[in-house]
Structure formats: C-alpha cells, structure tokens
C-alpha cells in the first residue's frame, strides 16, 4: 500500500469518526453506549500498549538481566 493511499484511508476513517461524534448527541442511548464501549476498548488497548512498551524499554539499562544468565553444565565429579 502506497503512503498516499494510506493517508487517504486514514483521512476517510477520521472523517467517519468525526461525523459519528457530531451525530452522537442526537443518537439513541443504545448507540451512545455502544460507541462508548468501542472507544473505551480502543483507549484501553493503547494505554496497555504504552505501559508494556515503557516497562520493556525502562528495564533495558545496558546490563544483562541476571535471571537470564546462562549457566554452564559441568560433568559430575566421581
């Protein structure tokens, strides 16, 4: 997919979202609740992704993690 086509697709999705938000005050309660649930799901996924990435990146301080150190197996002494 070319970047120009991708930008048009993102713009179309944004316009649909804006139109949905503009129609929301006149919508029936079921539509408002369903829109809120979908929006809450999207926000939750984004927040959890940010938390996961920040936890992963913050633990990388250049030193190896001692829990993941490989141990050498030696033959048993007789």
Phi and psi, residue 59, nearest 5°: -80, -10
Ranges of each domain in the chain: 1-56
Question: What pLDDT digit, counting tens, does each position of 24-53 carry?
Answer: 888 899 988 998 999 999 999 999 999 888
pLDDT at 76: 78
pLDDT at 25: 86
Rounded CA gap, 24 and 27, in Å? 5
pLDDT at 69: 58
pLDDT at 2: 83
Alpha carbon distances (Å) from 70 to 10, 38, 59, 77: 46, 45, 19, 21
77 has pLDDT over 90: no
Mean pLDDT, range 55-74, rounded to an integer: 63
pLDDT at 17: 87
Return the sign of the alpha-carbon dihedral for residues 45, 46, 52, 55.
negative
Q: Are 24 and 35 in contact (CB under 8 A)?
A: yes
Q: What percent of the chain has a predicted confidence (pLDDT) above 90?
A: 40
């Amino acid at each position: 997919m070319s970047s120009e086509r991708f930008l048009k697709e993102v713009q179309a999705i944004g316009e649909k979202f804006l139109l949905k938000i503009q129609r929301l005050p006149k919508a029936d309660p079921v539509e408002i609740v369903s829109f809120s649930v979908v929006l809450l799901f999207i926000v939750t996924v984004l927040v959890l992704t940010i938390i996961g990435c920040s936890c992963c990146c913050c633990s990388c301080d250049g030193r190896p993690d001692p829990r993941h150190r490989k141990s050498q197996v030696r033959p048993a002494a007789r």
